[in-house]
Amino acid sequence: MGDEIRRNMALFPIGIVMKLTDLSARQIRYYEQHQLIVPARTSGNQRLFSFNDVERLLEIKALIDKGVNIAGIKQVMNPVAKESQDATVLTDDTEEKRKELTDSQLYRMLKQQLVTGRRPGQVSLIQGELSRFFKS
DNA sequence: GTTCTTACA
DNA sequence: TGTAAGGA
């Protein structure tokens, strides 16, 4: 499968995303309410985030740390309303396979994404935010 | 045990 | 934004 799909696969539960982004569950859900992110949902209504979702959250965190409020962030970031464009992918197949992944494996996938699925402009940000999870 | 929604000392 | 309540 391509990188586009890999980046949009719904794999991470909110607990891992919290540690990954250093954001509270309250904040993550709040940003979702404001359409800044649109994570997929499992059949049991639990959120599953894609790497792209995590990436966006890291961008949001960077802005929040700079003192930008929601209104400001919405202007700086392109709204994720287009469900078709970069919506988080969650098929029954991926949902079941996700259950077999351990936290350790999920972190490993993120690490690989850091060196493979890089997109211009956000590399340094992500490496900086997630570096604490990986030994140099 | 984790996550979800709603609501507010 | 944090935290409690009550379910799933």
What is the pLDDT, as a whole number, of residue A84? 46
Closest nucleotide over all strands to A26 (CA to C1'): C1
DSSP for A64-95?
Answer: HHTT--HHHHHHHSPP---HHHHPPB--HHHH
- Report pLDDT digits (tens) over A35-53: 999 999 999 999 999 999 9
Measured from Cα to the C1' atom, the residue closest to B1 is A15
Q: Which residue has the higher pLDDT, A57 or A124?
A: A57
What is the pLDDT, as a whole number, of residue A87? 67
Token code pair at residue A22: 């250093």
Q: What CATH number is associated with residue A73? A: 1.10.1660.10
What is the pLDDT, as a whole number, of residue A92? 87
Provide the residue range defining the domain that includes A75: 1-131
Q: What is the mean pLDDT of residues A9-34?
A: 96
Average pLDDT, rounded, for chain A = 86
Q: Is residue A20 assigned to a domain? A: yes
Per-residue pLDDT at A135 exceeds 80 = no
CA distances from A60 to A32, A69, A78, A121, A132 (A): 11, 10, 12, 14, 18
Per-residue pLDDT at A85 exceeds 60 = no
Closest nucleotide over all strands to A45 (CA to C1'): B4
- Three-class SS state of A14: helix
What pTM was estimated for this model as a whole? 0.88
User: How far is A37 from A53, CA to CA, in rounded Å?
Assistant: 6
Per-residue pLDDT at A108 exceeds 60 = yes
| Nucleotides of B strand lying within 7 Å of any protein CB atom | 2-7
- Report pLDDT digits (tens) over A55-82: 999 999 999 999 999 999 999 887 665 5
Q: Is residue A33 assigned to a domain? A: yes
Q: Is residue A136 assigned to a domain? A: no
Per-residue pLDDT at A12 exceeds 90 = yes
Domain count, chain A: 1
User: What's the CA–C1' distance between A30 and B7, in Å?
Assistant: 15
Q: Is residue A58 assigned to a domain? A: yes
Q: Which residue has the higher pLDDT, A12 or A129?
A: A12
Q: What is the mean pLDDT of residues A17-45?
A: 96
Q: Is residue A83 assigned to a domain? A: yes
